[in-house]
Structure 1
Amino acid sequence: MAGPSRRSLARELESLADFSEPSASLEQYLTPSDIAAHICHRAALEGDLERPVVDLGTGTGMLAIAAALAGSDRVLGIDVDPDALAVARENAARVGADSIDWILGDATRPPLTRADRTVLSNPPFGAQRGNRHADRRFLETASEIATVSYTIHNEGSQEFVESFAADEGGEVTHAFRAEFPLERRFEFHESAEETLAAEVFRIEW
């Protein structure tokens, strides 16, 4: 049975709540609904939602919920922040995404062994002190526990991602650009809103 269109999926995801008190150190930003819809619509077309899905660093649950709404019946969301997981659970209930399990824990050290699964993730871009190369740790985890992953990175990351994947015996099969609008939410933000250019990669490990 065909899943929802990318546009209708994005519309449904627009109703999801943002972080109640976002953490700058964890780089907590709401994944845009249109990017989540694009990723999960593509994953559905590739057959990647037919295997179990894990959302590493799920935050408010945007990618996990998108996967469930797009057709996955086995989704796991992992996050270190209990407040974010509480919002994720409420968001899932709001749209009737009841096939998701939630785990409180470090997304880069999940209690999972390698299996035929799909990883989704919007990792920290490494903008905050102490988070440098944070996206690398998420890629390392994906390579260890999944056969396919989709991750969002800062623009200009393609060479790094392709090199990392190759070193781990993987291959970037799809890449596309995406706009990541950011509203002012932390004191160090200088403008009311700005748009980051981001890139999304599908990797077969």
Structure 2
Amino acid sequence: MPTKSELTQQLGVVAGFDDPRVDLEQYRTPPELAAHLVHTADLQGDIAGRVVVDLGCGTGMLALSAALRGPKTVVGVDIDPDPLATARENERKVASTSRVSWVRADATQAPLCPTESTTVVMNPPFGAQSGNEHADRAFLETTADIADVSYSIHNADSADFIEAFADDHDATVTHAFEATFELPHSFEFHTEERRSIDVEVFRIEW
């Protein structure tokens, strides 16, 4: 089983988006953050031997990170076929021995009905674009339906929203930690070559 440092190195080969869509807020999850999230989940007993679902998987960073920690199976769900094609290529690069299924579907209406203990890992859209506010809420709704535990990345200062959402669904936020998300220059409106934003990761028991 790779250490967190080794996991970060293995994820370095995971390619990002060739032509990212701004409406879907498509950004490659940094390998360091993905490794930290999955390592934390594994320490809690939430990866090995379990079904792991990555909602809005993009090019597969979180799904493949989980696949390298001995889950029973991993499912990556994304609405955009182009990133899913890249995710399949990334799977070959990472060479995990765990089974990974890539499903083209709307993550907010995922056609999944797991019957076994399921962990959701996800980096949902933050709702930063006009008209797309609170986009992460719909991802959490799906998570509440299919998971008994989840790890999700959200914009900084999301704790009140996450706590309230969990309370409304009789769920409990058990862990939270701050992290940094490196955003490369991906869209025309970006004025910097690279920018760091603060994010928060939450573990929720549903």
Name the stretch that deviates more: 125-134 or 172-181.
125-134
Q: TM-score, normalised by structure 2?
A: 0.96
Q: Which residue of 1 aligns with 2:52?
A: 53
Q: Which residue of 2 aligns with 1:39?
A: 37
- 8 Å contact kept, 1:44–1:71: no
Report the secondary structure of 1:76's partner residue: strand
Among the aligned pairs, what percent are the same residue? 53
Q: Which residue of 2 aligns with 1:103?
A: 103
- 8 Å contact kept, 1:152–1:201: yes
Per-residue Cα deviation, 1:163-200 (whole angstroms, up to 9, x for no partner): 11011010011100010011111001111111010000
2:166 is aligned with 1:165: yes
CA distance in 2, matches of 1:168, 1:194: 34
CA distance in 1, matches of 2:12, 2:72: 21
**Letter aligned with residue 28 of structure 2:** L
Q: Structure 1 stretches (4+) deviating beyond 6 angstroms?
A: none
Gaps of 5+ in 2: none
CA distance in 1, matches of 2:80, 2:112: 19
**In the comparison of the two structures, how many residue pairs are matched?**
203
RMSD: 1.0
Q: TM-score, normalised by structure 1?
A: 0.96
1:1-80 alignment runs, 5 A limit? 3-49=1-47, 50-80=49-79
Name the stretch that deviates more: 23-32 or 130-139.
130-139
Gaps of 5+ in 1: none
Report the secondary structure of 2:150's partner residue: strand
Report the secondary structure of 1:179's partner residue: strand
Q: Report the CA distance between 1:114 and its aligned residue.
A: 5.6
Per-residue Cα deviation, 1:143-162 (whole angstroms, up to 9, x for no partner): 11110000000000011101
CA distance in 2, matches of 1:85, 1:112: 17
Per-residue Cα deviation, 1:87-114 (whole angstroms, up to 9, x for no partner): 0000011111251000001011111236
2:193 is aligned with 1:195: no
